[in-house]
Structure formats: C-alpha cells, structure tokens
C-alpha cells in the first residue's frame, strides 16, 4: 500500500476530486494547510504598515492506494492540479504499513 | 320600573356630558394647545435622537471588534456593554448632578443626583434631557475601550468606566454645557462654542485614551526592538465597516439632536454632519492612496469618523462649504496622526486617540475659525482655551487614575494571558467556537449531522485559527 499526499492550490480541489473519481478513487482526506516553496509570499497593507505574508494557503489531499494504481493516481493529480505557474504544489509518496476500517475491522486491501 | 330606569340612565348621561368640560375654545386655550404641539415635538425629537446616539454603542462595539483579534472579541463586547451599562448608572447617580446641577462656582454642579430633579407627576423634561445626556456620556466613555483593547484587565477597566462617567466627563461637561439645565460653566460663560461635543465628548474620550495607552504600554509584538512597527491585523474588516456606518447613522442623532428642540435648525446640522463625514472619508482614502500606493480601508474608515468628530463642535454655526473643508482637513489629520502615534510607539489598535482626541481639538478650533457670524482672535482664543482646559483636566486626572488602578487592582493582563487571548483568560469564553476543530461532545465544524462533507468545512482541519489572525 502507498500513501499519496498532494499539496495543491485550494481552487484546484474540485478538479482533482472529479479526476480521481473518474478512475475509481472515491475516498480521500483533505486538510487546510499553509506553506511555501519557491513561491514567495507577498506584501500586504494594514493601516499604513506593510507586512510580509510568507505562508500561502494550500490544500493537502491524502489518498491510500495499492501499488498498481499509484502511477495512475499521480498522473491524474498532476494533470488536474497543474496551472503552470509557481505554487502548483508537490506530491509525496510513502509506503503504508497497514490500513484498518473502523466499522468492520477489515484490514489491508479490503480496507482501502 | 321601566320609567325609573330610563330616567336614571338619562340623568347619568347628562351629568357625564356636563362634566366633560365641553366649553368652546378660547384664544388662550388655543395658544396653550399650540404650544403643547411644539413641546411634544421637542420631546419626540430629543428622545428619537437619544435612541440614535444609543445605537452608536453598537457602532463602537463593531469597529473595535473588527479592528482587533478574534481571541479578544468577547472581551471587547463585555467592555462595550459595561461602558454603557455601568456608565448609565454612574451618570444617573453622580455624573448628571455634577454636570448639570446648580453650580455656585462654575466648576461643578451640586444638585440633581439620582435624578432628584424629577418628582412623580412633575415636569418630565428632566427625564428626556437626562436620557439625551446619558448617551453622550456613554459615548465619551466607550472611546477609550478601543485604544486600550487586547491587553487591559477587565476589572481595572470597570473601575475606569465608572469614574469617567461619574466624574471626569461631567466636570468638564459642566464647564461647557452646565447652563443647558440647572448649572453654569465658566467656559461657556466666555463664549466657548462646542455644539454637540467635539471637545466635551470626543476629546475627553481621546485624551483619556491617550492616558490609558501610556500607562498600559503597547501590545506584545507590536513594536520591535529595532524600531519596526508590526501590524496586528483586525479579524473582521466588514464588521469594522459596519461599525462606521452605524456610527455615521447615530451621528445624525448626535449633532442635530443637540438642539434638543424640533426646529428647522436641524436641517443644516444634518447636512453639515454628512458632508464632513464624506469629505473625511474621501480625503483620508486619497491620502492613504498617495502615501501607500493603494486606497486602504482602515484609514478610509477612520477618515469618515474623523470628519464626523471634527464637525461635531461647529455643526450648527458653519456653512455646508465649511463643513466640507473641515471634514477634508480631518481626513488628512487622522492619517498623519495615526502614523505619528505608531511612530512614537503609542499602540492604539483602532486609532481612537487620532480620531477623537486630535480631531476633537481640530473641530473645536474650526468652530471658531469658520464661525458664520464672523471670526476673530478672541473667538479662536476662547476655543483654544477650551481645548487646552480639556486636555489639562482630563489627561492628568485620567493618567493618575490609571496609575492608581494599575497599582491596586492591576490594569494590564500578564503576557501569558495576552497571548492566550482575553476571551478565555478574562471571561472563560470563546467568541467563535464553531470556527475551530473541537472535540467536545460534537461541537465544532464537523458536528452538523456528519456525512454531508461538501457543505461544511473539510473534516481534516489541522489549523485552528482563521488564517490571518494572532501572532
């Protein structure tokens, strides 16, 4: 099993979700996060004082897949989340030890 | 039997008809009746205006909440609620008597405490007048809560609130307005013009705010050791704007209501009030645009308020064109002043000192400069004297009072409490519990029925604060 975490621009979430749903991935967890990479923040103004905002709001999607579908999922995410501009985000893939469904106690592939 | 009953009924009707005072009107009774219409109109206008000024309390609450952080919103609400409530009681018990009681010396009144001027069945005008005056007192008191926001101990603040409503505001008020009722003031005797209170209300609040911020010190993290000014963002600018609109509306009671009479005079006062506010907003916006490169909302909102404060003294004795000029100058003045106080490291989260103190002084001076009947050095001199007298009374007294509160009950919260937020530390409360992830019994973003994931916040939120608040 693999865990795929994708940090994407927030307004791309619906596109990514729809794309994944088309290839049969119907479960995911998302979080609201902030971050920056090479996309620097920007300056804002409040009552005459300028301040630098470094962290930019992003959405992090977490998906669990089996080995066979990993490449397909990654392709779909990249395709849906890309704008071509700085700040599109990153995908992290890690090995997952175990998955358990709370309701039934199923494990492994049956729990995904 | 029937005849007896009919006779009795007819007699009863005739007697009641005779007792109805069914006399034809005379010239005297007509005169009295006509005068009563004016009296009734005076009461009506004064009390409607009082209700409008009362609503300004909501305006202040929204402005202050909007310009400060979410973790202190409950505390702001409590301070504003108490400014009015405790202030009302203090003004009823003591303040009104000091401000409008019989004044042998011309420096303070000594009668009318606990509304003793009113007796059951007596002339109710004192009640209408008191109602109008108490909302003015509360306006002065609540100005200070904005400047002292986010780091003031609630218990210390309550003490201040009572003292300003009972003593500080009424004493100066008696100098300028005492003769509006039973008193007489030395300042008004010299011809001091302050129709609705640029100095009496707004500068009193502004200079007390200055004293408070000096004793308190700036919020943690506001100014760095190497002289940088770090903005602490307000958590809800729409609320702040709503507050300004409410204040603008309330000012239509504040200024024209100060006639305490229904007369055609109120028309020009309405117009002057509106023109000054508009000019203040526009000019402040342009000033911020030129200085910072973009029209900034906080400065623009402060500009509207500054115009309103500035026109408060001269609203009844200047022309509409003058009102535009007065408001325009206020718009520049408030921007410069806000930047100035930040530069000398006096932390005023909402700009109260700049809006109310500085522009209260400007408005009072303008009442002399732009006086429709003509101006003179003497007239301007008396205005300047009043401005100085106000500062020399309010600032030292407030400063000493805040120092005493600090030494006894304590004025400022601890650094840990300030970081945590006053909502929790002072009130065990939370202004926006639904906006956090909470695991307490299903309260919080994920509690609405479960399962309908897209109509509510995502279920995996890890950040607990709205994105732009806190340090």
DSSP B223: B
The rounded distance, in Å, linking the Cα atoms of B47 and B257 is 8
Bridge-based pairing state of the strands A2-8 and A49-53: unpaired
pLDDT of the residue at A111: 87
pLDDT of the residue at A48: 86
DSSP B416: H
Cα B216–Cα B219–Cα B222 angle in degrees, nearest 5: 135
Instruction: Pick the residue of A6, A48, A51, A52 with the most B CBs within 10 A to test the interface with B by mutation.
Output: A48
Residue B27 lies in a domain: no
Closest-CA distance, A33 to chain B, in angstroms, reads 7
Question: Which of A37-41, B43-47, B74-78, B406-410 is predicted least confidently?
Answer: A37-41
A7 DSSP β-pair partners: A60, A90
Mean pLDDT of B390-394: 98
pLDDT of the residue at B294: 94
The residue assigned the tokens 């592939």 is A109
Per-residue pLDDT tens over the stretch A49-78: 888 888 989 999 999 999 999 999 999 999
Bridge-based pairing state of the strands A29-35 and A56-65: antiparallel
What residue of B is the nearest CA neighbor of A32? B461
Mean pLDDT of B155-169: 97
Q: Which of residues 269-308 of B touch A (CB under 8 A)?
A: 288, 291-294, 296, 298-299
Q: Do B462 and A33 touch (CB under 8 A)?
A: yes
pLDDT of the residue at B458: 40
The rounded distance, in Å, linking the Cα atoms of B81 and B197 is 22
Residue B21 lies in a domain: no
pLDDT of the residue at A95: 96
When CB atoms are compared, the residue of A32, A47, A50 closest to B458 is A32
Per-residue pLDDT tens over the stretch B290-322: 999 999 999 999 999 999 999 999 999 999 999
Does A46 reach chain B within 8 Å, measured CB to CB? yes
pLDDT of A109 > 50? The answer is yes
Helix and strand totals (H; E) in chain A: 2, 6
Structure tokens at A45: 């103004």
pLDDT of the residue at B4: 86
Closest-CA distance, B77 to chain A, in angstroms, reads 23
DSSP B450: S
Helix (H, G, I), strand (E, B) or coil at A37: coil
The rounded distance, in Å, linking the Cα atoms of B356 and B201 is 9
C-alpha distance from residue B113 to each of B23, B95, B150, B161, B178 (Å) = 43, 8, 35, 18, 14
Q: In total, how many domains does chain B have? A: 1
pLDDT of B14 > 70? The answer is no
- DSSP conformation letters of A79-107: HHH--SSTT-EEEEEEE----B-TTT--B
Three-state secondary structure of B32-43: HHHHHHHHHHHH
Per-residue pLDDT tens over the stretch B116-125: 999 999 999 9
**Which residues are within 8 A (CB) of B316 and not within 5 positions of it... i.e. 6 or more apart?**
B195, B196, B255, B258, B259, B265, B268, B269, B272
Residue B399 lies in a domain: yes
Q: Do A29 and B459 touch (CB under 8 A)?
A: yes
What residue of A is the nearest CA neighbor of B229? A49
Residue B212: give the domain boundaries.
46-416
Mean pLDDT of B202-225: 97
Q: Which of residues 2-31 of A touch B (CB under 8 A)?
A: 29-31
Bridge-based pairing state of the strands A2-8 and A42-46: unpaired
Cβ(B351)–Cβ(B284) under 8 Å? no
| Domains detected in chain A | 2-111 (3.30.70.120)
Structure tokens at B275: 């023109």
pLDDT of the residue at B16: 58
pLDDT of B448 > 50? The answer is no
Cβ(B344)–Cβ(B284) under 8 Å? no
At B372, the pLDDT band (50, 70, 90 cuts) reads very high
Residues of A in Cβ contact (< 8 Å) with B338: 47-48
pLDDT of the residue at B444: 46
pLDDT of the residue at B451: 37
When CB atoms are compared, the residue of B231, B459, B462 closest to A46 is B231
At A37, the pLDDT band (50, 70, 90 cuts) reads confident
Residues of B in Cβ contact (< 8 Å) with A57: 467
At A38, the pLDDT band (50, 70, 90 cuts) reads confident
pLDDT of the residue at B17: 57
Mean pLDDT of B328-339: 98
Q: Do A49 and B461 touch (CB under 8 A)?
A: no
Question: Who has greater pLDDT, B254 or B451?
Answer: B254
Does A49 reach chain B within 8 Å, measured CB to CB? yes
Residue B456 lies in a domain: no
Cβ(B194)–Cβ(B345) under 8 Å? no
At B439, the pLDDT band (50, 70, 90 cuts) reads low
Mean pLDDT of B388-398: 98
What residue of B is the nearest CA neighbor of A17? B454
Per-residue pLDDT tens over the stretch A77-104: 999 999 999 999 999 999 999 999 999 9
Q: Do B463 and A33 touch (CB under 8 A)?
A: yes
Question: Who has greater pLDDT, B195 or A43?
Answer: B195
State the greatest distance between any 2 C-alpha atoms of chain B, in Å, as a whole number: 107
Residues of B in Cβ contact (< 8 Å) with A59: 458
pLDDT of the residue at A42: 84
Share of chain B above pLDDT 90, in %: 86
Residue B444 lies in a domain: no
Instruction: Pick the residue of B231, B287, B331 with the most A CBs within 10 A to test the interface with A by mutation.
Output: B231
Does B338 reach chain A within 8 Å, measured CB to CB? yes
At B15, the pLDDT band (50, 70, 90 cuts) reads low
ipTM beyond 0.90?
Answer: no
Residue B289 lies in a domain: yes
Residues of B in Cβ contact (< 8 Å) with A34: 463, 467
**Which residues are within 8 A (CB) of B167 and not within 5 positions of it... i.e. 6 or more apart?**
B94, B95, B98, B397
Residues of A in Cβ contact (< 8 Å) with B234: 46
pLDDT of the residue at A26: 81
Residue B189 lies in a domain: yes
Residue B423 lies in a domain: no
Mean pLDDT of B376-399: 98
Q: Any idea what the CATH number is for the domain that residue B339 is in? A: 1.10.3430.10
The residue assigned the tokens 């010190």 is B217
Indicate the average pLDDT of chain B: 92
Closest-CA distance, B243 to chain A, in angstroms, reads 17
Mean pLDDT of B416-425: 95
Closest-CA distance, B182 to chain A, in angstroms, reads 45
State the count of interchain CB pairs (< 8 A) between A and B.
53
Q: Do A33 and B231 touch (CB under 8 A)?
A: no
Cβ(B345)–Cβ(B132) under 8 Å? no
At B18, the pLDDT band (50, 70, 90 cuts) reads low
């Amino acid at each position: 099993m693999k865990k795929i975490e994708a940090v994407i621009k927030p307004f791309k979430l619906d596109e990514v979700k729809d794309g994944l749903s088309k290839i049969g991935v119907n479960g995911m967890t998302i979080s609201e996060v902030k971050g920056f990479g090479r996309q620097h923040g920007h300056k804002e103004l409040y009552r005459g004082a300028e301040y630098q905002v470094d962290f930019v709001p992003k959405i992090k999607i977490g998906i669990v897949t089996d080995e066979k579908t990993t490449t397909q999922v990654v392709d779909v995410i990249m395709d849906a989340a890309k704008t071509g501009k700085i700040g599109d985000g990153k995908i992290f893939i890690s090995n997952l030890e175990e998955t358990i469904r709370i309701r039934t106690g199923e494990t492994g592939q049956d729990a995904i | 039997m029937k005849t007896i009953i009919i006779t009795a009924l007819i007699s009863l009707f005739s007697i009641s008809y005779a007792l109805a005072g069914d006399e034809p009107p005379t010239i005297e009774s007509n005169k009295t009746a006509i005068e009563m219409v004016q009296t009734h109109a005076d009461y009506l206008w004064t009390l409607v205006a009082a209700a409008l000024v009362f609503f300004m309390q909501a305006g202040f609450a929204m402005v202050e909440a909007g310009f400060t952080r979410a973790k202190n919103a409950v505390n702001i609400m409590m301070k504003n609620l108490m400014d009015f409530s405790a202030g009302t009681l203090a003004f009823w018990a003591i303040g009104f008597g000091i401000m409008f009681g019989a004044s042998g010396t011309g420096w303070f009144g000594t009668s009318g405490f606990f509304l003793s001027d009113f007796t059951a069945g007596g002339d109710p005008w004192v009640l209408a007048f008191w109602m109008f005056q108490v909302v003015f007192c509360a306006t002065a008191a609540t100005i200070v809560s904005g400047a002292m926001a986010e780091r003031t101990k609630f218990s210390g603040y309550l003490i201040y609130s009572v003292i300003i409503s009972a003593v500080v505001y009424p004493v100066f008020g008696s100098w300028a307005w005492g003769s509006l009722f039973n008193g007489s003031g030395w300042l008004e005797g010299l011809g001091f013009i302050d129709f609705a209170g640029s100095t009496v209300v707004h500068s009193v609040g502004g200079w007390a705010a200055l004293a408070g911020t000096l004793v308190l010190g700036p919020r943690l993290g506001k100014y760095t050791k190497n002289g940088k000014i770090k903005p602490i963002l307000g958590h809800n600018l729409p609320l702040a704007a709503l507050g300004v609109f409410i204040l603008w509306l309330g000012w239509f009671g504040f200024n024209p209501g100060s006639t305490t009479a229904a007369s055609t005079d109120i028309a020009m006062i309405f117009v002057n009030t509106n023109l000054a506010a508009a000019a203040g907003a526009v000019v402040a916006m342009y000033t911020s645009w030129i200085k910072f490169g973009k029209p900034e909302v906080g400065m623009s909102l402060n500009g509207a308020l500054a115009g309103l404060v500035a026109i408060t003294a001269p609203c009844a004795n200047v022309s509409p064109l003058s009102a535009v000029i007065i408001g325009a100058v206020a718009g520049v003045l408030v921007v410069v002043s806000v930047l100035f106080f930040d530069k000398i490291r006096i932390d005023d989260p909402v700009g109260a000192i700049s809006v109310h103190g500085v522009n209260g002084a400007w408005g009072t001076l303008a009442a002399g400069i732009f006086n429709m009947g003509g101006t003179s050095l003497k007239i301007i001199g008396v205005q300047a004297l009043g401005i100085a007298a106000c500062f020399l009374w309010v600032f030292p007294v407030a400063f000493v009072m805040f120092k005493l509160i600090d030494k006894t009950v304590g004025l400022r919260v601890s650094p840990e409490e300030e970081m945590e937020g006053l909502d929790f530390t002072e009130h065990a409360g939370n202004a926006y519990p639904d906006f956090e992830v909470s695991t307490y019994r299903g309260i919080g973003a994920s509690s609405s029925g479960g399962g309908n994931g897209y109509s509510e916040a995502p279920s995996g939120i890890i950040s607990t604060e709205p994105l732009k608040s806190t340090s």
